[in-house]
Structure 1
Amino acid sequence: MNRNPKGQFPKGTSGNPKGRPRKQPHPICDDQVRRDFFEADEMLVPIVIGNRREMVPARVVIDRQLISKAASGDPRAMAQYYKRKDRFVFEYVNRQLENLRVIVESEDRLRQFPEDVTDEFKKALRLLKQSIDKHYYPL
C-alpha cells in the first residue's frame, strides 16, 4: 500500500483491508458457572460470634442469615426456610429408605446363599446397619 508524503493512504483505500476483528463473546459453559458458584460458596467470610471474629464458609453465613430473618418474622425467609427443610428431610428419608432396601436385599441373599457370602460382605452389611439413624428406624 502506497502512502502520500504525509503518511496518508490514498482516498478509497484502507490501511486495514480486513477491518477490525469482531468481538468474540466469552464462552460460558454450565460447568464453569457451577464451579464458580461452589467455589464462591466455600469462600471464607469473617463473622463475629460472641466477642471473637471467625472465618466461616459463605454458605454457613447465608444459612444463618436466612434463619435469623425467618425467626424475626420475614414471611419470604420463612417460606424459603421451610422449602429447604422439606427438601433436606425428603433427601434424608430417601437415603435412609435406600439403605434399608439394600440391607433387606443383603440379608435375603445371606439367608439364601450363606456359603457364598464373604466376610467382607458381612462387614459391609454391618457397617451399613450402623449407618441407619436409630431415631428414624430402630433396628
Structure 2
Amino acid sequence: MRLSARTHYALRAAAELAAAPPGPVPAERISTAQRIPRRFLDNILLQLRRAGLIHSQRGPDGGYWLARPADQITLAEVIVVIEGVPQDNEAFFGASEPLEKVWAALRENETRVLTGVTLAHLAGGSLPTL
C-alpha cells in the first residue's frame, strides 16, 4: 500500500491530537511537534474536520481536538478520509489470474491491520498484536 505524504501527515496530526491533554490543541503546536508544514496541515485539519473526525474552535484559546475518543478512531478511518476508498479495476488474464487472489489477500490483511489499530494505540505507544 502506498500512502501519500498528505496521508502520513494526517496520521501524525491525528496521533498528536490523541496524545494531547484534553482541550483544544493549536495547529501551530501540531505543526511544530510533527514537523508538518503549517499550510499543508491547515488543509489536512480542514479535511479531517469536514469528515467529522475532529472538532475545531477559533480564537486565542482555540485549536483542534478529536471528535470521538481516540480508541474509537482507527487508522483506516483517517486514511479513507484523505485517500478515499480504493477502487479495484484491475483485471487478470491467463497465467496472471492467480494474482487476483494474492492482491485480495493483501488488501484483506491491510484492512485488518488498519482497522485494528486506533489512535489510542499510537498515543499509548503500544500496538495490538498484528
Per the normalisation by structure 1, the TM-score is 0.27
The structure showing larger relative contact order (alpha-carbon pairs under 8 Å, at least 6 residues apart) is: 2
Per the normalisation by structure 2, the TM-score is 0.29
